[in-house]
Structure 1
Amino acid sequence: MTTFLRPGDRVLLTGDSITDWGRDRDQPDSPWGLGHGYAGIVAALAGARRPDLDLTFHNRGIGGDTTRMLRERWQPDALDLEPTVVSILVGVNDTWRRFDSGAVTSVEEYEGHYRAILQATRERLDPRFVLVEPFVLPVPPVQPAWREDLNPRIHVVRRLAAEYDAALVPADGLFAAAAARTPPERWAFDGVHPTAAGHGLLAEAWLAAVGLSA
């Protein structure tokens, strides 16, 4: 069975707290280094469904990261690991910091940081990319203005996914559809950070994007 993944792939999942999610930063490449969010679920299910691929997973998410912060640590936390697959979920903090501390990252700056990350990685390693849309749900502290700020960033990710031939995880629409069936708090308890069910939903979408659905 053909998938986006290949035998022996080294998969890096990175971004902000949604990826970080309880990982042991002191032992990043131990069994505890994947955390207990979607990154850990992805590694567990991918390994169970395709043990023949002999995949290695790394989690380098850091809570609170914006695209600028991710770019600043990209060398040690990404390039030095020499991954063959790079998965990125970042953007909600670029929006959040505007509303809680007045630190504005324009959409142009967001795209510039994101593009620089992708281009540097392509030139150095030429990996396959998985880009995950940032998302929010209407649960406080999220307000309608957040959506107006985040939507253009989601479109940036979609555009970059097409440009860099990446697998796209359509997380924003996925969570919106789930929240139309049940209260949004079932999926993200504060509109940003997923519940256990939300992490499961995101992990299944990630696996579907790379051809490893159940």
Structure 2
Amino acid sequence: MTVAVPHGGRVLFIGDSITDAGRDRACGDDLGTGYAMMAGAWFTARHPGHRVGFVNRGVSGDRVRDLRARWEIDCLALAPNVVSILIGVNDTWRRYDRDDPTSAPGFARDYRHILESTRRLGARLVLVEPFLVPLDDGQRGWRADLDPKVDVVRRLAAEFDATLVAVDELFQAAGVDGRVWTRDGVHPTPFGHALIAQAWLRAVTPAT
């Protein structure tokens, strides 16, 4: 299922550092250097007459609870036509580096809350799976925590009639050294960002 972006519409990318990608906070339309910029640039290059606006509200370090706390200001107040969400790896990471876990039910509760609150916009939803490209045995152990959260996103996509971008599955199936895609198992290289952008573009189309 693809999402159709209306002519002159607004697309919001929101999430954690993977979406943030070094965006300039002082410049409201800066998309950073990652997949959000790549996807927005390629969409516009392919459909320049569609005049779609792209906005990035990724914040490094965010978990789903942080997204929920800022949802009114950083999503609803912007009145986007399409909302693209990538969140979840920090909900796993904090369990292992700070002993501060997020349970799968807690993750689902906060994620569902932001999706329910977005319904009043009438916006279409694109849910990008959280992902991990393990570089060592320690990170491979993180899958026990992350996999249930990936399942939550898949179930919520079905529940809310959202378009799912299955990047975790894509990275797992890539069949090459993970260092091609990521610096540390979490943050993508330019090639990893490009892979996400390609998957995102396959899920989004201009409305006719």
TM value normalised by structure 2: 0.95
Match of 1:93 in 2: 90
- 1:191 pairs with 2:185: yes
Map Cα deviations across residues 9-68 of structure 1 (whole Å, 9 max, x no partner). Answer: 100000000000010011122xxx100100000110000111122100000000000000
| Paired-residue identity, % | 54
Q: Which 5+ residue runs of structure 1 have no aligned equivalent?
A: none
Q: Distance in 1 between matches of 2:26 and 2:54?
A: 16
Out of 48, 51, 56, the residue aligned to residue 48 of structure 2 is 51
User: Corresponding residue for 1:26?
Assistant: 26
Amino acid of the structure 2 residue aligned with 1:56: G
Aligned length: 205
Counterpart of 1:138 (choices 124, 131, 134) is: 134
When you count strand as a share of all residues, which structure comes out higher? 2
Q: Deviations over 1:167-197 (max 9, x none)?
A: 110010111122x1x2100001111010000
1:38 aligns with 2:35: yes
Equivalent of 2:201 in 195, 203, 207: 207
Shifted more, 169-178 versus 91-100: the winner is 169-178
Match of 2:111 in 1: 114
CA contact (8 A) 1:39 1:203 kept: yes
Alignment-derived partner of residue 71 in structure 1: 68
CA distance in 2, matches of 1:51, 1:99: 44
Residue 165 of structure 1: aligned partner: 161
Which residue identity is paired with 1:135?
F
Deviations, residues 128-165 of structure 1 (Å, cap 9, x unaligned) = 00000000011159522210100010011011111111
Whether the 8 Å CA contact 1:142–1:191 is kept in 2: the answer is: no
- SS class of match (1:28): coil
Alpha-carbon spacing, 1:142–1:195, altered in 2? closer, same or farther (3 Å) = farther
Q: Which protein, 1 or 2, shows the higher relative CO under an 8 Å CA cutoff with sep ≥ 6?
A: 2
One-letter amino acid matched to 2:90:
N
Gaps of 5+ in 2: none
Provide the C-alpha distance between the structure 1 equivalents of 2:180 and 2:188, rounded to a whole number of angstroms.
8
- Mark the CA change 1:14 to 1:142 in structure 2 (over 3 Å): closer, same or farther: farther
Aligned to 2:5: 5
Contact in 2 for aligned 1:133/1:168 (Cα 8 Å): yes
Deviation at 1:104, TM superposition (A): 1.2
TM-score norm. by structure 1 comes to 0.92
Counterpart secondary structure, 1:34: coil
Whether the 8 Å contact between 1:141 and 1:190 is mirrored in structure 2 is no
